[in-house]
Structure formats: C-alpha cells, structure tokens
Amino acid sequence: MLEKIQKLLNEKKYSEVKSILSEQKFFDAAEILEALSDEQLPLVFRILPKDTAADVFAYMDSDAQEKLIHAFSDKELKEVLSDLYLDDAVDMIEEMPSNVVKRILRTADAETRKSINMLLQYPKDSAGSIMTTEYVSLKKDMTVEDAFKRIRQNGVDKETIYTAYIISANRKLLGIVSAKTLLLSPMECLVEELMETNFKSVSTTEDKETVAELFMNYDLLALPVVDNENRLVGIVTVDDAIDVLQDEATEDMEAMAAIVPTDKPYMKTGVFETYLKRIPWLLILMLSAAFTGSIIRNYEEALSHGYVILTAFIPMLMSTGGNSGSQSSVSVIRSISLGEISIKEIIPVIWKEIRVAFLCSITLAIVNFLKLLFIDKVSIAVCVVVCATLVVTVFIAKFIGCTLPIITKCLKLDPAVMASPFITTIVDAVSLVVYFQIATRVLGI
C-alpha cells in the first residue's frame, strides 16, 4: 500500500492518492502518513479530505504530529485544532515541546484554549487527564422528543452521543440516560422519568487505573467525571479506558522484567532512553547479587577442600528458586491489578501457596534425587543436601513471592515495581544460606 502511494506521489497523481487515502480507516491512513518522508508528509496531509484530516491527525504518533505542526500555517493549525476532539488535542499537546505548545495555545480560539488549559492542569494519571469536555447534556424537564432535538443539534462534534447527562441549572449531575433508553421510550416521556440516578461517576483526581477498572467491571461505554461539588466536568469514553488498561498491563510487564516503565512504544523509544529505563535495576540487582557472592566466599575455604561439587548445583537451586518465586509473585501481582484479590485475602493466598509449594517441591525433589543418584552418580549425602535445599527454597520462594506483593500494596507502593525484581535476589540469597547450612550439618564441611 505504502509503495503504491509512493509511486503515485512520484508520478504526481495526487487525486488518486486522495481517493486511496479517503477509503482507508483513520488508523490505517495515519500509519501510511507516518511512513512518508518529511517533505511528503505535509503535502499528503493537505490532500486529505477536509472532514477526515483531523481524525487522521489524532491517530498519528507525536513525531509525525510535530512535523506537521511545524509545516502548518497558523490558519491550518487552527482548523485542525478546532476539528480535533478535546481529549485528543490534549493528548497531543502533552507530547509536544514547549515552543510548539505555546504556538498551539496561541493559535486556538479562546474557548478551546480555556478548555485545553483546564484539561492540562489535571495531574498525569488522573481521570481529569484522560477525559473530554465534549458531551451531550440534557435538562430533566425535557421530553424524549426534546432530547433527540438537542442531540441532533449538538451531537455532531461530540465523541459519544450514546450516553447523555442530565444536569441541573448549576451543572450538578443528576442522572444519565442512554440513547438506547431514549430510542425505546415514547416521545412524550420526560427525561426525568427515564434517567438513571444510581450511576457510577469518578472525581477528576481519581487514578485512571481505577477508572479503567470500572469500565471493565461494569461494561461501560462512558463514565462521567465530576468535581468536588458533583458538578459534571467531563466524560471518559471506552476507547480511552482500553488504552489505559493496555498501558497498565505493559507497565506491569516492564516492572516485572526490571524495567522502569515507560509510556512510549518500543520502537519510538530512543536508544539512550531505553538504556536509562533499564540500567537502574540492572545496577541495583547486580550490586545486591554481591550478597550471594559474599555468602559463597564465606564457604570458599570449605568448598575448596573436597566439596567443589556443591558449586555445580548452585545455578540449578537459584534458578528453581527464582522461577518458583516469580510464578507466585506474577500470579498475585496480576490478580491485584485485576482487582481479583485484595490485601484482606493475604491469609488464604499464603495458605494456597503453601499447599502448591508442598506439591511442587516434593515433585522437584523426587525427580532431582533420581537424576542426581542415577545420572550424575553423586553420593547419597550430596543428594540429600541438594534435594532438602530444593524443598526449603521452593517453600521460601513461594512464600516471599506471594506475601511481598501484598505487603507492597499495603504500603501503597506498586507491587509490580517494588516486589518482582527483589524477589529473585532475596530468594537467591536465602537459598544459598539454606544450602550451606544444610551442607554443614549433613556433610560436616
């Protein structure tokens, strides 16, 4: 597709380019535009049909958006801004350097500028930061007929018209009504009789993760956002909630892999930026591995007198411990994220993990004992030391793996960030201490 467009551009067949691009979904057209050269991008953007240009712009990544803004005249910029949904405009502005932001705010009309400035003030990760101020509002004494009239008049540039919000004269949110309810009700019926007054809403400062969870649990299409005095200030729509859910899952995975979470896609993150996200944990974990090293050095003397064989099993013990611990921690962290378990359930979680640890450790110990005895042909005493360590390590790993995330949650820290990377290090150190303690007792080293 891109090659075809390139070819048509070289042949200056712009009307064909226009007809191809206007057949594309906004997301696909945006992908095509992003792949064009810096010279082609503004040219092709100007070819786009007027009514779809802003939609395509909203789907482009911030690099392409910035290039376009630099190429825009003030008039063009104003046009695109006025056609963008407000929340998309704010998302874009948040990624732009300050000189571009200044130009955008200068160019926008007074009302848009006011709304953008208001939205920009909400803290990152708050409901306010992902909401839009464009919604359909109704009065409670309207009939269904009035409501449809109002939706027809005002609905064109609203992100959703499928939920309408009933507000009082002083903008307090009284109720919500879905387009479905309106459509299935008689025209003379009053909105007041149809509206749902027992609805979910969030405050502007609510964590966006909580907002996204509400969408997931209650199957919402939109959620009203209110201020301290229950005045409606905006709505969050389901497409933004999906983005939040995906971002949160990505951040949890990154944290589990000892990466400082970023909100940029992998290919858009520069090498140095990627380095900065990865090196902190690598350094912390490398230095904390010094503990395990010093434990081994304590036993250096003993090991060198006939028990160097014990070192051969250190990697296996450490990796089995690490794997057992991360199995438990990842299960628990994800369940906390999904709201499936809360900190109250620490006791049933531990009890479950203990029983799983029992089954896992016994299985591993038996298989390992047979392998050591018949394949590695080591002495029974060494077999016993290794397998006993295995059992204890798996128990400790699963215990730490399930409790640490819940404890970090209690301390209002992020379980994924604070728990996962440390678990392996803690388990490594513990398993080594256990190993040498058992070895000292059984082998007398």
Site residues for its own copies, 304-343, by CB under 8 A, read: 304, 306, 308-309, 311-316, 318-320, 322-324, 326-327, 329-332, 334-335, 338, 340-341
DSSP alpha helix (H) spans, 185-308: 191-194, 208-218, 238-256, 271-298, 300-304
Around Cβ 196, how many Cβ atoms within 10 Å?
Answer: 13
**Where in 56-95 is the site for its own copies (CB under 8 A)?**
none
Question: Which residues share a beta bridge with 237?
Answer: 222
CB 324 within 8 A of CB 360: yes
Pick the stretch among 73-81, 97-105, 164-172, 216-224 that binds its own copies (CB under 8 A).
216-224
The one among 162, 192, 350, 407 contacting its own copies by CB under 8 A: 162
**Where in 221-240 is the site for its own copies (CB under 8 A)?**
221, 238-239
Q: Give the N- to C-terminal CA distance of the chain in Å, as an integer.
A: 71
For position 246 contacting its own copies by CB under 8 A, the verdict is: yes
State the minimum distance, in angstroms, from the CB of residue 202 to its own copies.
14
Listed in sequence order, the residues at least 6 apart from 234 whose beta carbon sits closer than 8 Å to its beta carbon are 119, 128, 131, 132, 133, 135, 204, 224, 225
- Angle at Cα 325 formed by Cα 324 and Cα 327, nearest 5°? 65
Q: How far apart are CA 358 and CA 271, in angstroms?
A: 44
Is the CB of 167 or the CB of 360 nearer to its own copies?
360
State the minimum distance, in angstroms, from the CB of residue 370 to its own copies.
11
State the minimum distance, in angstroms, from the CB of residue 197 to its own copies.
10
The one among 3, 23, 39, 111 contacting its own copies by CB under 8 A: 23
Is the CB of 169 or the CB of 267 nearer to its own copies?
267
State the minimum distance, in angstroms, from the CB of residue 218 to its own copies.
5
For position 97 contacting its own copies by CB under 8 A, the verdict is: no
Is the CB of 173 or the CB of 179 nearer to its own copies?
179
CB 176 within 8 A of CB 223: no
State the minimum distance, in angstroms, from the CB of residue 145 to its own copies.
13
For position 19 contacting its own copies by CB under 8 A, the verdict is: no
For position 443 contacting its own copies by CB under 8 A, the verdict is: no
Question: Which residues share a beta bridge with 286?
Answer: none
**Where in 254-313 is the site for its own copies (CB under 8 A)?**
254, 256-259, 265-267, 271-272, 274-275, 278-279, 281-283, 285-287, 289-290, 292-294, 296-297, 300, 303-304, 306, 308-309, 311-313
Is the CB of 54 or the CB of 108 nearer to its own copies?
54
Q: At 265, give phi and psi (nearest 5°).
A: -65, 155
For position 249 contacting its own copies by CB under 8 A, the verdict is: yes
State the minimum distance, in angstroms, from the CB of residue 105 to its own copies.
26
Q: Which amino acid is at 198?
A: N
Is the CB of 15 or the CB of 363 nearer to its own copies?
363
> Shortest CA distance to 213 belongs to which of 239, 234, 242, 177?
242
| Segment (H or E) for 137 | strand 136-138
Angle between helices 380-410 and 346-370 in degrees, nearest 10: 160
**Where in 333-392 is the site for its own copies (CB under 8 A)?**
334-335, 338, 340-341, 345, 348-349, 352, 355-356, 359-360, 363-364, 367-368, 371, 376
State the minimum distance, in angstroms, from the CB of residue 404 to its own copies.
14
State the minimum distance, in angstroms, from the CB of residue 216 to its own copies.
6
**Where in 163-192 is the site for its own copies (CB under 8 A)?**
179-180, 183-184
Strands 163-167 and 202-203: unpaired
Is the CB of 84 or the CB of 303 nearer to its own copies?
303
Listed in sequence order, the residues at least 6 apart from 355 whose beta carbon sits closer than 8 Å to its beta carbon are none
Q: Total number of residues binding its own copies (CB under 8 A)?
A: 109
Strands 136-138 and 163-167: parallel
Token look-up 């708050």 returns: 126
State the minimum distance, in angstroms, from the CB of residue 70 to its own copies.
25
Would you state the structure tokens that stand for residue 249, as one six-digit string? 């899952």
What strands lie across the sheet with 136-138, from one edge to the other?
Answer: 136-138, 163-167, 173-178
